[in-house]
């Protein structure tokens, strides 16, 4: 029996990601199987498990999405029990997976996000939430920054993905495959992505625990990009998509919190 692993979106474009997740089963004495998952990622992972069964029944149902905690080994997904004792059984399945808790609905809406750059600097929001060029139906922000500008963390979290090997760029979506980025998992279950960073510009590695305001990268002009800038987005990661989120940032001296507006310049003095 061959299990099929189907990776969703660009998050599964490397072999390393697929190797971090494993779904497998062990026989139960007297007939049937117990299905387990290993998750070696530093964040929860959602797995949709689809069975094809003969004389067997999955006790938790078919086509169910399970959430496996980070760094989990032999996490119980479901039992598959024999229907009729004297008949042969057969089990096969496929599964899809992605970062995050697919079912998560709540998060810290009142969190005080730092601007993603260093103290005593100011940058313009070139493209805002639902921007017309590349942010259609996406709550993302583009900050115009010269190549090599310091990028600082907007909040605490754990680094779960770093790509900074690329140098190519163009203004077409086909260049998304060259995006350099840092992805962070936050304590409330949300994620943040800092994209288009400079080649070899990451100042953190996977597994690092970071603090708000910490230097994490240098900005660049890499991937799907028409000019030097930082693309920043906060989101829920669903199994097959992202739910991007609007966030309020502390501006000026840090006493005012607001949603950022396209074409406006924002200073960080705190």
Least-confidence region, from 37-41, 76-80, 130-134:
130-134
User: Which one has a higher pLDDT value, 210 or 17?
Assistant: 210
Region 197-216: mean pLDDT is 97
H-helix or E-strand containing 169? strand 169-170
pTM of the model: 0.88
Q: Any idea what the Cα angle at residue 73 is, between residues 70 and 79, rounded to 5°?
A: 110
Bridge partners of residue 76, in order along the sequence: 36
Region 185-190: mean pLDDT is 98
How far is the C-alpha of 71 from the C-alpha of 158, rounded, in Å?
Answer: 13
How far is the C-alpha of 112 from the C-alpha of 270, rounded, in Å?
Answer: 12
Region 147-172: mean pLDDT is 94
User: Does the pLDDT value for residue 200 go beyond 80?
Assistant: yes
Region 80-100: mean pLDDT is 94
User: Which one has a higher pLDDT value, 176 or 136?
Assistant: 176
Residue 124: the pLDDT is 96
User: Which one has a higher pLDDT value, 6 or 40?
Assistant: 40
User: Does the pLDDT value for residue 247 go beyond 80?
Assistant: yes
Residue 7: the pLDDT is 29
Nearest CA to 77 among 86, 69, 85? 69
Residue 227: the pLDDT is 87
Nearest CA to 235 among 98, 121, 139, 93? 139
Strands 4-7 and 90-99: parallel
List of domains in the chain: 4-99 (2.60.40), 121-268 (2.70.70.10)
Bridge partners of residue 24, in order along the sequence: 36
User: What three-state secondary structure class fits 173?
Assistant: helix
Region 171-197: mean pLDDT is 92
Residue 132: the pLDDT is 63
Average pLDDT in the chain: 90
254: left (phi over 0), alpha (psi -120 to 50) or beta: left
Percent of the chain with pLDDT over 90: 80
User: Does the pLDDT value for residue 73 go beyond 70?
Assistant: yes
User: Does the pLDDT value for residue 71 go beyond 50?
Assistant: yes
């Amino acid at each position: 029996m061959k299990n099929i692993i189907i990776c969703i979106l660009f998050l599964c474009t490397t072999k390393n990601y697929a190797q971090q997740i494993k779904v497998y089963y062990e026989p139960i004495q007297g007939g049937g199987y117990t299905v387990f998952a290993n998750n070696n990622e530093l964040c929860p992972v959602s797995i949709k498990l689809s069975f094809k069964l003969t004389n067997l029944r999955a006790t938790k149902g078919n086509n169910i999405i399970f959430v496996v905690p980070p760094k989990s080994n032999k996490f119980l997904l479901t039992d598959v029990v024999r229907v009729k004792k004297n008949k042969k059984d057969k089990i096969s399945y496929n599964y899809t997976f992605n970062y995050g808790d697919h079912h998560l609905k709540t998060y810290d809406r009142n969190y005080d996000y730092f601007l993603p750059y260093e103290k005593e600097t100011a940058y313009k929001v070139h493209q805002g939430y639902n921007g017309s060029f590349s942010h259609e139906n996406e709550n993302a922000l583009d900050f115009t920054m010269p190549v090599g500008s310091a990028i600082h963390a907007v909040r605490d979290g754990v680094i779960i993905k770093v790509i900074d090997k690329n140098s190519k760029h163009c203004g077409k979506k086909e260049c998304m495959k060259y995006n350099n980025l840092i992805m962070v998992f936050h304590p409330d279950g949300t994620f943040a992505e800092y994209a288009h960073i400079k080649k070899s510009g990451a100042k953190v590695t996977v597994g690092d625990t970071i603090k708000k305001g910490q230097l994490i990268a240098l900005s660049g002009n890499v991937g799907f990009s028409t000019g030097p800038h930082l693309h920043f987005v906060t989101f829920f990661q669903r199994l097959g998509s992202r739910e991007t989120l609007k966030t309020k940032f502390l501006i000026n001296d840090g006493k005012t919190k607001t949603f950022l507006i396209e074409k406006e310049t924002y200073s960080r003095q705190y």
